[in-house]
Amino acid sequence: MTMILQVDHVTKVYGQSGEKQYRALRQIDFTVDAGEFVAIMGASGSGKTTLLNMLSTLDQPTSGHVFIDGQDNSELKGDKLANFRSQKIGFIFQDFNLLENLTNEENIALPLSLQGVTVKQINLLVERIATRLKINPILAKYPAEISGGQKQRVAAARALVHNPAILLADEPTGALDSKSARELLETMADLNQNDQVTTLMVTHDPFAASFASRILFIKDGKIGNQLVKADQSRKQFYHLLIDQLETGEL
């Protein structure tokens, strides 16, 4: 199995030496293989957002290393880091982060435009991912003209249009109603299972986490227990997760 993500002894400390410091991450170690769907669960302040910033290359660890598709992120700076991020990482934000002055089609195409992809190839790739996510009818509209669930599908299309090595999702259902949230999660699970989209999702929501094949739990900046779905149904996995959360086993 090909390893897509390797997090090796990652520690993140905020504050200068000699001053009061805050240790947000403490010797984090885990891997994600190609085709996995991994969820990271943790309460507010547990370190999950800091960890996601390390994985997405938006921030650098104080010590330790993050490897994506075999590349050590700490070795990249400036334009090389920006190019790596735009080619290897897809990101779905909680609040969509769509540009309101661009059509949905233009929002999806933006990562390809920034990479200098030809117009012909952009049109082909946008059409392909829009068809996969069933959003062709809204491509000509603007974000303000569509629902929250549709916005998140557009955001997902933008994150996937360049075929990244890994899809990172930060509380992707946080701004959605329950129906739209379920539809998005089912789409993410379908993309993972049928298109082998390697996915890592940060969430505090047990329902969202139950769509993953493996759940890692972060607390006080450390990865502790994990749950593996194995041959359970999503519903069974959800009930197992709830039971263990309620009994304090996680």
Query: pLDDT digit string (tens) for 131-167?
Result: 999 999 999 999 999 999 999 999 999 999 999 999 9
- Residue 33's DSSP bridge partners are 3
Q: Per-residue pLDDT averaged across 114-123, rounded?
A: 92
Q: Span 36-42, mean pLDDT?
A: 96
Q: Count of alpha carbons within 13 Å of 211, Cβ hemisphere only? A: 24
Q: Is the pLDDT of residue 176 over 80?
A: yes
What pLDDT is stored for residue 1 in this prediction?
75
Secondary structure tally for the chain: helices H, strands E? 8, 10
pLDDT band at residue 114, thresholds of 50, 70 and 90? confident
Rounded Cα distance, 250 and 243, in Å: 10
Q: How many angstroms separate the most distant Cα atoms in the chain? A: 58
End-to-end CA distance of the chain: give it in Å, rounded.
28
pTM (2 d.p.): 0.93
Query: What's the mean pLDDT when you consider all of the chain?
Result: 94
Q: CA 26, 30, 36, 41 torsion: positive or negative?
A: negative
Distance from C-alpha of 23 to C-alpha of 181, rounded to nearest angstrom: 33
pLDDT of residue 19: 83
Q: What percent of the chain has pLDDT over 90?
A: 82
Which secondary structure element, helix H or strand E, spans residue 114, and what is its range?
helix 104-114
Does residue 249 surpass a pLDDT of 80?
Answer: no
What pLDDT shows up at residue 24? 95
DSSP 3-state of 128: helix
Q: Which CATH number fits domain 3-246: 3.40.640.10, 3.40.50.300, 3.90.226.10, 3.20.10.10?
A: 3.40.50.300
d(CA 77, CA 125): 28
Give the pLDDT of residue 129.
96
